[in-house]
Amino acid sequence: MQDISKIYTDGGARGNPGPAAAAFVVLKDGGVLIKHSEFLGIATNNEAEYKALAMALSWLVDNQKLFQNSKISFFLDSELVVRQVTGLYKVKSEKLKLLIIKIKALEKRITDVEIKYNIVRREKNKLADKLVNLKLDENPM
């Protein structure tokens, strides 16, 4: 049976644009492997959501040996990001187009790992959401 790990990502901005943060949480073998968050400065909510996904993929590139021959399900509460990353929606924003290019480049660097993107309700993304809000609270502007 193939190992399935989960990565939850979230991004948020207080104001749009406004102070923003991004976070991801990796679950493997039923436990939290890593939690990470970053303050982004001023960004839109969508930019923060994309940057959270890019951060998680970048971490995965560096740690993919932990996940060889496995599946990883990404969970995002941004329907827009999931639908744009999977090609169901077009990307109109030039800033978001650049982030999609970065995400696609990171995906190409990940081998022997099957990636699936899923939309999840905000209530199911509590830990990543909490990390975003804690990071924003630490960095009042």
Residues 18-66: tens digit of each pLDDT: 999 999 999 999 899 999 999 999 999 999 999 999 999 999 999 999 9
Residues 57-99: tens digit of each pLDDT: 999 999 999 998 899 999 999 999 999 999 999 999 999 999 9
pLDDT band of residue 1 (cuts 50, 70, 90) is very low
For the beta sheet containing 4-13, the strands, ordered from the edge strand earlier in sequence to the opposite edge, are 31-43, 18-28, 4-13, 70-76, 113-119
CATH number of 4-138: 3.30.420.10
Domain ranges of the chain: 4-138
- Classify 45 as helix, strand or coil: helix
> pTM, whole model, 2 decimals?
0.95
- Classify 110 as helix, strand or coil: coil
- Say if CB 57 and CB 104 are below 8 A apart: no
